[in-house]
Structure 1
Amino acid sequence: MTTPQQDPSVALSEEDRETAVQRLQTAYAEERIPHEEMNERLDQVLTARTRGELATAMASLPEASPEPTSTIAAAGGRIRRRGAWRVPRHLKVASAFGRVHLDLSRAVIEHPVVDIELAVGTGRAKITVPRDATVDVEGVSTGWKDLRYQPPRRSRPSGPKIRISGSMGFGRLKIRHARR
């Protein structure tokens, strides 16, 4: 039985297409494929409509190496990131006791999708995202207090997609969009 992720007749998402383009660019930069082949495959990827067509374009291409997960951890105290810091593709934040404040509003975000995994025991967490970001909080479980997140009324989803997952024990997770 094939899952929706494996079904070749399923329509492509923009994230699937962007991932394929990045794999092609990486293979070309590492001199694994010649320029002409990269152009041919890139044309196939950009015109593909289903996952089956994309798989054909990506056949025999080396698998993408898994991106490393950066971890910020503290047993107690505060975890704070703000200003012009570089946000990794996968970020894990672990805090047993204390506060977490991640401000992504002025951060350098190089990826179209950023995954943030929370493991917060006792304490609260606050995440400020860019104005034009879209936020997915489907993967977050809260133990004691509910999640506070209000999507903007006038959304301009031109920015990165921030996917937040993980768990909050005894504390509240508050997510807000930057004002400027």
Structure 2
Amino acid sequence: MTSLPEDSPPLIRDNDRDTAVGRLQEAYAEGHISHEELDERLHQVLTAKTRGGLQSALASLPEEDAGTTSTIAVAGGRIKRRGAWRVPRILKVESAYGTVRLDLSRAVIEHPVVDIELQLGTGGAKITVPRDAIVEFEDLQTGWKDTRYKTRRRPRSGGPRIRISGTMGFGRLKIRHARR
């Protein structure tokens, strides 16, 4: 078995690279960097092998707006959001007993990445995401039932990335894409 040297730099994950590309595009759209500088920095991000390479491509950019963090918490009962509601950058949902229904299909999503952190005791959760959303839930720990999610056959680009994490005790998470 071969081991890596302890001083080897950490490798870059795909979502780290995607986040860096998003920051560069945002900086260009806001007029902080020129078109030529965008091209140069994008090349640097796409060819970077380490986090240091990513950081040097993002150097001198304005601080990233982390967006808002909101928490919805109930001891027991139902949590339900649907229609045209504004989705924060980070949404924390906490419930000891009860169900959670989040419909993001007509929600106002202003961030390219939305983190939903679930802390649920008993009761299930159902999340409806936009048709073009990319869903990640590898960081979600379930205690009793597996998550149900059927990926789209033809994924569309340009939609928000919805990252779901946290813990669920006794209940199932169902994720589906909106039909319209």
- What TM-score does the superposition give when structure 2 sets the normalisation length? 0.80
Task: Report the equivalent of 1:14.
Answer: 18
Code of the aligned partner of 2:11: P
State the 1:128 CA deviation.
0.4
Aligned positions of 1:10-159 closer than 5 A: 13-22=17-26, 38-39=33-34, 41-48=37-44, 49-51=46-48, 54-159=54-159
Indicate if the aligned counterparts of 2:66 and 2:89 stay in contact, CA closer than 8 A: no
Q: Write the deviation string for residues 113-145 of structure 1: whole angstroms up to 9, x where unpaired.
A: 111110011111000011111111111111111
Give, as a single letter, the amino acid of the residue that structure 2 aligns with 1:3.
Answer: P
Pairwise CA RMSD? 2.5
Structure 1 position 68, deviation (Å): 3.5
8 Å Cα contact 1:103/1:127 also seen in 2: yes
Deviations 1:41-80 (A, max 9, x none): 4343234333456533433445435444211111111111
Aligned to 2:11: 4
> Does the 8 Å CA contact 2:99/2:123 hold for their aligned counterparts?
yes
- In 2: Cα distance, 1:47 partner to 1:4 partner: 17
Q: Does the 8 A contact of 1:44 with 1:54 survive in 2? A: no
Distance 2:96 2:85 in 1: 23
* Contact 2:17 2:54 survives alignment (8 Å): no
Paired letter, 1:64: E
Q: What are the superposed Cα offsets for residues 124-174 of structure 1, whole Å, 9 maximum, x if unpaired?
A: 100001111111111111111111111122322331111111111011111
CA gap 1:69/1:173 in 2 versus in 1, 3 angstroms: same
Report the counterpart of residue 3 of structure 2 in structure 1.
Answer: none
The amino acid of 2:145's aligned partner reads K
C-alpha contact 1:122 1:170 (8 A) present in aligned 2: yes
**Percent of residue pairs bearing the same amino acid type:** 60
User: Deviations 1:75-98 (Å, cap 9, x if unpaired)?
Assistant: 111111000111111111111111
Unaligned runs of 5+ in 1: 29-34
Q: Distance in 2 between matches of 1:23 and 1:96?
A: 41
Q: Distance in 2 between matches of 1:110 and 1:66?
A: 12
Alignment check: 8 A CA contact 1:45 1:54 kept: no
| Residue segments in structure 2 that go unaligned for 5+ positions in a row | 1-6
